[in-house]
Structure 1
Amino acid sequence: MNEMLEKLFEYVELGKINQASPFPPQLKGQPGADEYTREALDKGITPSDIMNLALIPAMNKVGQKFSENKIFVPQMLLSAKAMNTSLVHLKPFFSSGEVKRKGTFILGTVFGDLHDIGKNLVGMMVEGSGWEVIDLGVDVKTEKFLETLQRYPDAVVGMSALLTTTMTNMEPIIQAIKEVSPQTKVIVGGAPLTPDFARSIGADAYGSDPQDDVVWLESLVS
């Protein structure tokens, strides 16, 4: 791998966002994902190589470490922010079609629930693995999911809930989605959920953490 891509991989994994970022302490004052991505593009490294050889592998490694309890939410958020800083430089190439996305992922916290930390982590990890993420935010009603699915008919849908009182709101949304688009795949997640509950409400998959979502999405396009 190109030395610059290796450095970008390392700094995304460690959560080094830019030169001004004080974290991690051992890299204070050094350039971060922001500067290395700009420099890589200036030196002719293709956006596809930046995405496929540095960002996606780095976030896959971060997700694996999180699943194994080797890092925790704060470190994961720093890595996701570093990745997002890098993606800012690549987004013009997504628009032009020079860099291909793996698919579209519609994501939202279901109606009645205002929690978004878990949803945001999932969105960052999924985007870092090469998908376009349409984040609908929190307190998302059935109609919003359906409207967005009309615009992105080939998308996969992800739903989050953090409360036992709101996780039951997933079932009517899933039923409505399946009625109008039986082929649409839906994954659900959140602290109170279980695989059995996910099956009982008609979801196609359950994600216990962001890496679960990434692995499952990869299985759909592999």
Structure 2
Amino acid sequence: MNTETFKEDLLSLDYYSIKHFVQDYLKERDFESFVDKILVPVLEDIGDSWENGTLSLSQVYMSGRLCEKLIEEFIKQLNTKRIIIPRMAIVVFNDQHTLGKKIIYNVLRSIGYDIKDFGNFENADDLIDRAEKENIQVLLVSVLMLNSALKIKTIREEVSQRNLNTKLIVGGAPFNFDSELWKRVGADYMGKNTKDAIDLVSKMAGELNE
């Protein structure tokens, strides 16, 4: 069974075919293998295709939503637990553009991660209050405007003042235009696309499990 078939069904939004693909796959392999060998590579490939302009943002978004639905169904059927390390949340900061956040949220949930959606926050104090209360280890911050990106410095200041170990992953248009901006605002990592988000979260999950 190959990834191209799954990708074609996914982009066609053919949930019936996608579900049967997984059912056939699980006759010979386990669910973790499906996620690692099929789901993650396909979602990364779809993200790359959006990056180079061959797929639309809506296709990336709908693929993530469909995969999230698929994961939810099979997690219940197989009594599989979501991945809870690292404890993560995603937020739009000082901005009203939520599509990028929704895509990353859906993609990470679609590969089994338990990530919280913090919605929108306007100031760092309230945001880190909630992150601290929920013991968030990794905070993904999405912005569209440069002014919002620059204000991420206030999040770093709050994290530092409270001596928290929360890691900041930032993403959005300003960071794609300026490859050094994430360092200047005090982020730990920057992701350009869904593939980066998956890779960074997987990397941190591995480090925390060591």
TM range (shorter): 0.7 to 0.9
Of the candidates 45, 50, 57, which is equivalent to residue 66 of structure 1? 50
Structure 2 vs 1, CA of residues 99 and 7 (structure 1 numbering), >3 Å: closer, same or farther? farther
Paired residue type of 1:16: L
The CA RMSD measured in Å over matched residues stands at 3.2
- Count of residues in correspondence between the two structures: 203
Structure 2 vs 1, CA of residues 16 and 99 (structure 1 numbering), >3 Å: closer, same or farther? same
Task: Give the corresponding residue for 1:127.
Answer: 109
1:221, CA displacement in angstroms? 3.7
Structure 2 unaligned segments of length 5 or more: list them: none
The answer on 1:152 being equivalent to 2:161 is: no
The answer on 1:107 being equivalent to 2:105 is: no
**Matched residue SS, 1:85:** helix
Paired residue type of 1:119: K
- Report sequence identity in percent: 17
Q: TM-score, normalised by structure 1?
A: 0.73
The answer on 1:116 being equivalent to 2:98 is: yes
Task: State the alpha-carbon separation in 2 of the partners of residues 178 and 15 from structure 1.
Answer: 46
1:84, CA displacement in angstroms? 1.5
Q: TM-score, normalised by structure 2?
A: 0.77
Alignment of structure 1 residues 1-222 onto 2, 5 Å: 1=1, 8=6, 10-12=8-10, 14-18=11-15, 31-34=16-19, 39=23, 46-92=30-76, 98=81, 100-101=83-84, 103-111=86-94, 113-142=95-124, 143-153=126-136, 155-193=137-175, 194-222=178-206
Q: Is the 8 A contact 1:125 1:211 kept in 2?
A: no
Paired residue type of 2:90: L
Query: Per residue, is there more strand in 1 or in 2?
Result: 2
1:35, CA displacement in angstroms? 5.8
Structure 1 unaligned segments of length 5 or more: list them: 19-30
Paired residue type of 2:56: F
1:15, CA displacement in angstroms? 4.7
List per-residue Cα deviations over 1:94-130 (Å, max 9, x = no partner). Answer: 9x6545455332100113x111011111212233344
1:140, CA displacement in angstroms? 4.9
